[in-house]
Amino acid sequence: MSLERPDRVDDDAVERTPDELEALLGDLVVDRDDHLNAPGFVIRPDTVQETLRTLKEQAGYDHLSVVSAQEYENRYESIYHLKKYDDPTQEVSIVVPADKDDPVSESAEPVFRTADWHEREAYDLIGIEYDDHPDLRRILLPETWQGHPLSMDYDKDRPQIATLPEHANPLEDHHKDAESDTMFLNIGPHHPATHGVLHLKTVLDGEQVADVEPDIGYLHRSEEQMAQSGTYRHQIMPYPDRWDYISAGLLNEWAYARAAEDLADIEVPEYAQVIRTMGAEMCRIAAHMLALATFALDINGDFTATFMYAINDRERVQNLLEDLTGQRLMFNYFRLGGVVWDLPEPREEFFSKTRDFLDQPPESVEEYHNLITSNEVFQMRTIDTGILPPEVAKNYGATGPVARGSGVDYDLRRDDPYGYYDELDWDVVTEDGGDNFSRLLVRMREVEESAKIIEQCVDLLEDWPEDERNIQANVPRTLRPDDDTEIYRAVEGAKGELGIYIRADGTDKPARFKIRSPCFSNLQTLPEMANGEYIPDVIAALGSLDVVLGEVDR
């Protein structure tokens, strides 16, 4: 691997047992609270930075996946889920209880930049305050919102007021003084280049970007609340389709399925795993195709050639997915313990259609390279712009094609295998450039890898013995995982590590359901790439991040 860090302590990747970790942390640990996926250490709310720094620097836990916060009857709690980029199966949870009446806890932002947004979200939705946080404001809800919607005493019927501050005059006096002559520019929330409803508050100095701040929450649809009010067995599964809605439905469903199956100890039949793997990779192709289409749209600015080509290819995949699942976009195809139905009959026809689709990539990839990557204008706009160094990417918790475009070799399909991926022959794609072009290349090459995976799945499915075509395990009608079991599980979604944290409380609905969205963390890197660059480069960087606002805001 090319990403060896010079300062790496040699025993970084060495797995430590929970007891060794406890010894390492010493007095910092006040209690143990193990989760199904990882050992959990309870610490005091004023030792967060010290604990995380020890784990990061001395034990190599360099990836803060997510901060999930929640309120109990007698306390608040923030959980820091840590992993290693080199081996994501090594996990540890740091549990930080906070006082019920005065929930304050130390911020982890100085240790992990990514904690900035995650803690703002926890403050916004749950109401925990973070000491030492650089900018503790609401992030998803309007700033004038009253109450914290996922806290226990929230009244959902109370009236609320939202403001429209964006009509402020950009040339107002306060942007002009003796030292500076900057201009404030709103990009979005209704703007074709923001891929949805994202708002970028940009401060320009001439044509250069002095500061850009993504303002999100324009599509915050209360996804976590929806999941917390649904039953495990059937009512939650339709929602994942709507997180990353770029046809990445099956990948998202898998995130929920994986977490819930591990929570309730359900074994998925192999045949269903192969179908899942195949469907998920089809989704990945569709998702990457749209990323490519809109990226070309942003860069070349035409609503024609590349866009139409890519949409055409998406239509083909969507046809296959529709044959398989019955829907074009919101598949709702996975069930806990398997998939809802078998391959469409006649199977031969489905297989031959799929093979037709797979036969065509080499040419179409060639076409895309002619259209985009070998286009000089395109290269000028994307090569060496929007650079994201690997260390910065890790600090921000970037995953997926964004991290792999910066040379961070991290792909949960290989590193934390699930489904049928570890039986198949495929490669993780990385590029070392770290610029807009590399991220695009990663996606284009991943499409080819996905095609390889699908092909192997089709081979397997064709020859699968007739009497072993078991699509669903036996799962009880109502699932009631044990009280106070907690789990965090992630899969490789189209945009990166899509993780779910669930806390069960003995009922048939999750007590806390937290979604770790890859786009949320990826989008946070935008200022790093854009500050100091020209405004067209911001658009290019945003396009290459390929965020989907449904998943950023949830």
* Residue 241 Cβ vs ligand SF4, minimum distance, rounded to whole Å: 8
Tokens of 187: 């990009």
Binding partner of residue 178 among other proteins, ligand SF4, none, CB under 5 to 8 Å per kind?
A: none
Task: Please report how the helices 436-462 and 361-368 are oriented relative to each other, as an axis angle in degrees rounded to 10.
Answer: 170
Question: Based on CB atoms, which residue is closest to ligand SF4, 332 or 399?
Answer: 332
Question: Based on CB atoms, which residue is closest to ligand SF4, 191 or 242?
Answer: 242
Question: Based on CB atoms, which residue is closest to other proteins, 167 or 477?
Answer: 167
* Residue 191 Cβ vs other proteins, minimum distance, rounded to whole Å: 8
Establish how many alpha carbons lie within 13 A of residue 436's alpha carbon, considering only the half-sphere containing its beta carbon.
31
Burial (CB count <10 Å: 0-12, 13-18, 19+), residue 63: buried
Burial profile 169-204: b = 16 or more Cβ within 10 angstroms, e = fewer: eeeeeebeeeeeebbbebbbbeeebbbbbbbbebbb
User: For residue 67, what are the contacts with CB-CB under 8 A and spacing of at least 6?
Assistant: 78, 79, 80, 81, 108, 115, 118, 119, 121, 122
C-alpha to C-alpha distance for 65 and 522, rounded to whole angstroms: 12
Kindly state the DSSP code that residue 468 receives in the 8-state scheme.
Answer: G
What is the secondary structure of 25-77 as a DSSP string? HGGGEEEE---SSS-EEEE-TT-HHHHHHHHHHHH---EEEEEEEEE-SS-EE
C-alpha to C-alpha distance for 132 and 63, rounded to whole angstroms: 21
Question: Based on CB atoms, which residue is closest to other proteins, 71 or 109?
Answer: 71
Q: Are 289 and 443 in contact (CB under 8 A)?
A: no
Question: Based on CB atoms, which residue is closest to ligand SF4, 330 or 340?
Answer: 330
Q: What is the dihedral of CA 405, 406, 407, 413, to 10 degrees?
A: -50
User: For residue 86, what are the contacts with CB-CB under 8 A and spacing of at least 6?
Assistant: 12, 13, 60
Question: Based on CB atoms, which residue is closest to other proteins, 89 or 312?
Answer: 312
Burial (CB count <10 Å: 0-12, 13-18, 19+), residue 124: buried
Tokens of 489: 């599980």
* Residue 221 Cβ vs ligand SF4, minimum distance, rounded to whole Å: 8
* Residue 69 Cβ vs ligand SF4, minimum distance, rounded to whole Å: 26
Question: Based on CB atoms, which residue is closest to other proteins, 413 or 554?
Answer: 554
Question: Based on CB atoms, which residue is closest to other proteins, 457 or 549?
Answer: 549
Binding partner of residue 460 among other proteins, ligand SF4, none, CB under 5 to 8 Å per kind?
A: none
Tell me which residue has its CB nearest to ligand SF4.
Answer: 242
Q: Which residue, 190, 2, 25, 189, is CA-closest to 93?
A: 25
* Residue 539 Cβ vs other proteins, minimum distance, rounded to whole Å: 13
Q: Is 400 left (phi over 0), alpha (psi -120 to 50) or beta?
A: left
Binding partner of residue 35 among other proteins, ligand SF4, none, CB under 5 to 8 Å per kind?
A: none
Binding partner of residue 337 among other proteins, ligand SF4, none, CB under 5 to 8 Å per kind?
A: none
Binding partner of residue 164 among other proteins, ligand SF4, none, CB under 5 to 8 Å per kind?
A: other proteins
DSSP-assigned beta bridge partners for residue 196: 191
Question: Based on CB atoms, which residue is closest to other proteins, 301 or 532?
Answer: 301
Question: Based on CB atoms, which residue is closest to other proteins, 98 or 290?
Answer: 290
How far separated are the first and last CA of the chain, in Å rounded?
34
Binding partner of residue 226 among other proteins, ligand SF4, none, CB under 5 to 8 Å per kind?
A: other proteins
Binding partner of residue 163 among other proteins, ligand SF4, none, CB under 5 to 8 Å per kind?
A: other proteins
* Residue 380 Cβ vs ligand SF4, minimum distance, rounded to whole Å: 37
Binding partner of residue 7 among other proteins, ligand SF4, none, CB under 5 to 8 Å per kind?
A: none
* Residue 495 Cβ vs other proteins, minimum distance, rounded to whole Å: 15
* Residue 216 Cβ vs ligand SF4, minimum distance, rounded to whole Å: 17
Q: Which residues bind other proteins (CB under 8 A)?
A: 141-146, 149, 154, 156-167, 189-192, 195-197, 217-223, 225-226, 229, 238-239, 241-242, 245-247, 290, 303, 307-308, 311-312, 314-315, 328-330, 549-550
Binding partner of residue 335 among other proteins, ligand SF4, none, CB under 5 to 8 Å per kind?
A: none
* Residue 29 Cβ vs other proteins, minimum distance, rounded to whole Å: 36
Binding partner of residue 141 among ligand SF4, other proteins, none, CB under 5 to 8 Å per kind?
A: other proteins
Question: Based on CB atoms, which residue is closest to other proteins, 317 or 530?
Answer: 317
Q: Which residues bind ligand SF4 (CB under 6 A)?
A: 242, 330
Binding partner of residue 414 among ligand SF4, other proteins, none, CB under 5 to 8 Å per kind?
A: none
Establish how many alpha carbons lie within 13 A of residue 117's alpha carbon, considering only the half-sphere containing its beta carbon.
28
Q: Are 30 and 42 in contact (CB under 8 A)?
A: yes
Question: Based on CB atoms, which residue is closest to ligand SF4, 481 or 550?
Answer: 550
Binding partner of residue 26 among ligand SF4, other proteins, none, CB under 5 to 8 Å per kind?
A: none
* Residue 189 Cβ vs ligand SF4, minimum distance, rounded to whole Å: 16
CA distances from 93 to 9, 29, 48, 67 (A): 22, 12, 12, 10
For tokens 């306390």, what's the residue? 75
* Residue 330 Cβ vs ligand SF4, minimum distance, rounded to whole Å: 6
* Residue 352 Cβ vs other proteins, minimum distance, rounded to whole Å: 21
